[in-house]
């Protein structure tokens, strides 16, 4: 019963939820990579550990942000 109700209320907004999640992920990625993009980041010591995790999806991110090529000189993905 609860699964059916959840589907009833969530189904119309599934695309909206997915877009909101993607926007949140993009903001997180920008905060983690801000030091590499030239933006001062006071938490760069802590976010540096997350960079290897984000490299796999970096290409999709910079294409979604409207950049044809990687903005990072030391990391070329295309």
Q: What is the pLDDT of residues 7-35, one digit of tens each?
A: 898 888 989 999 999 999 988 888 888 87
Q: What is the pTM of this model?
A: 0.60
pLDDT, one tens digit per residue, over 28-66 is: 888 888 877 777 877 777 777 777 777 778 788 878 888
- Write down the H helix ranges in 1-78: 2-10, 14-37, 44-47, 51-54, 58-64
């Amino acid at each position: 019963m609860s699964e059916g109700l959840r589907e009833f209320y969530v189904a119309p907004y599934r695309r909206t939820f997915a877009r909101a999640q993607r926007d949140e992920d993009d903001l997180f990625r920008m905060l983690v990579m801000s030091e590499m993009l030239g933006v001062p980041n006071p938490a760069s010591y802590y976010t540096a550990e997350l960079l290897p995790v984000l490299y796999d999806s970096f290409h999709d991110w910079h294409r979604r942000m409207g950049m044809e090529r990687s903005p990072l000189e030391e990391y070329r993905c295309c």
